[in-house]
Amino acid sequence: MARDWSSATGHEIHDALHHGTATASDITQSFLRRIEAVDGKVRAYVDIWKDHALKQAENVDSRLKRGQTIGPLAGVPFAIKDVLCTKHGHTTCCSRILKGYRSPFDATVIERLEQAGVVFLGKVNMDEFAMGSSTENSSVQVTRNPWDLKCVPGGSSGGSAAAVVADECVASLGSDTGGSIRQPAALCGCVGMKPTYGRVSRYGLVAFASSLDQIGPFTKDVEDLALVMNVISGRDERDSTSADIPVPNYSQALRDDISDITVGLPKEYYTDALNPEMRQKIESAVKILEARGAKVIEVSLPHTEYAIAVYYIICTAEASANLARFDGVRYGYRAPKVADVQEMYAKTKTDGYGREVQRRILLGTYVLSSGYYDAYYLKAQKVRALIRKDFEEAFQKCNVIATPTSPTPAFEIGAKTADPLEMYLSDIYTISVNLAGIPGLSVPCGLTQSGLPSGLQLLGKPFDEATLMRVAYAYEKNRGFDIGKPPLT
Mean pLDDT of each 10-residue bin along the chain, 489 residues long: 89 96 97 98 98 98 96 98 98 97 97 98 98 98 98 98 98 98 98 98 98 98 98 98 98 96 97 89 97 98 97 97 92 92 93 97 95 93 98 98 96 94 92 98 96 98 98 97 88
C-alpha to C-alpha distance for 335 and 329, rounded to whole angstroms? 10
Which residue, among 322, 317, 321, 323, has the nearest Cα to 368 in the 3D structure?
317
Q: Evaluate whether 106 touches 114 at the Cβ level (below 8 Å).
A: yes
The answer to whether the CB of 84 falls within 8 A of the CB of 126 is no
Catalytic entry in 6, 25, 81, 320: 81
Q: Is residue 402 within 8 Å of 456, Cβ to Cβ?
A: yes
What does the alpha-carbon distance between residue 150 and residue 414 come to, in Å, rounded to a whole number?
9
Q: Which helix (H) or strand (E) holds 383?
A: helix 379-394
DSSP symbol at 212? T
**Helix (H) or strand (E) segment spanning residue 393:** helix 379-394
The string of DSSP letters for 304-355 reads GGGHHHHHHHHHHHHHHHHGGG-SSSSSS---SS-SSHHHHHHHHHHHHS-H
| Beta partners for residue 453, in sequence order | 447
All domains of the chain in start order, with CATH: 10-302+389-478 (3.90.1300.10)
Choose, from 180, 201, 320, 426, the residue flagged as catalytic.
Answer: 180
The answer to whether 81 is a known catalytic residue is yes
Active site includes 259? no
Q: Which one from 133, 156, 157, 201 is the annotated catalytic residue?
A: 156
Q: Which pTM does this prediction carry?
A: 0.97
Torsion of CA 415, 416, 422, 426, to 10 degrees: 80
**30 catalytic residue (yes or no):** no
CA distance 177 to 159: 16
> Cα separation of 310 and 297, whole Å?
28
E strand or H helix that includes residue 290 = helix 276-291
Contact indicator for 368, 379 with CB cutoff of 8 Å: no
Output the pLDDT for position 370. Answer: 87
